[in-house]
Structure formats: C-alpha cells, structure tokens
Amino acid sequence: MKKILITLFQLSVTVAVLYWVYHDPNRRAQMVEAIRNAEYRWVVMGILGYVVVEIAAAFRWHVLLKVQKIRLTLPRLSGLFLIGMFYNQFLPGGTGGDIMKSYYLLKETPD
C-alpha cells in the first residue's frame, strides 16, 4: 500500500509540474520559438550521443547480469532498459526505473 501511495504522489507531482509548464500560453510560445530557432544538426548530434550512452548502459547491464548467470538476449534487456528509462523520465526520483527493471527481470527469470 505504501508503494502505491508513493507512486501516486510521484505521478501527481509530475502532472502538476507538467500543467504548470504548459498552461501558460506565453511559455508555450517561447518553447515553440526555441524549437524553431534550434540548429538541427546539434539536436541530431545530441540525440545520437544520448542513444550511444544508453546503449552502452544497456550493454553494461547485460554484462553484469551475464556474470550472475542471468541469461536474457541483448534486445530483451534493451527493452527492459527502455522501460526503466521511461519510468525515470516521468516519475520524480531516480529509482523508479531501476525498480521497474528489476520487477520485469524477476518476472522473466524467476530463478
């Protein structure tokens, strides 16, 4: 029950912050203008750099699990890693994604 309350609290804080950011038309217009004025080559390079870092982190997780004799394919581990990233992005606090990755990992490898 305590976990559910914490998750609901985190979710409500996230929704409140998103509302605060997007409810002001002037702030929305500033964000649109900033996106229009962005140099797309830097945006693409930033996205590619981020993808490389996340792939390296997923591979590191793959190696750590392999040492513990937990065998999952790299594509499946990458999927679990993306699930963890999703929870880390949309819930306040940095452990939500790790908890979800562990939960799904335990579901798939009960041993």
Q: Is the dihedral of CA 72, 66, 100, 91 positive or negative?
A: negative
pLDDT tens for 29-79 read 888 899 999 999 999 999 999 889 888 888 888 898 889 888 888 888 888
Q: Is 68 helix (H, G, I), strand (E, B) or coil?
A: coil
Q: Is the dihedral of CA 68, 69, 73, 76 positive or negative?
A: negative
Question: For the whole prediction, is pTM greater than 0.75?
Answer: no
pLDDT band at 94 (very low <50, low <70, confident <90, very high): low
**pLDDT value at 100 more than 90:** no
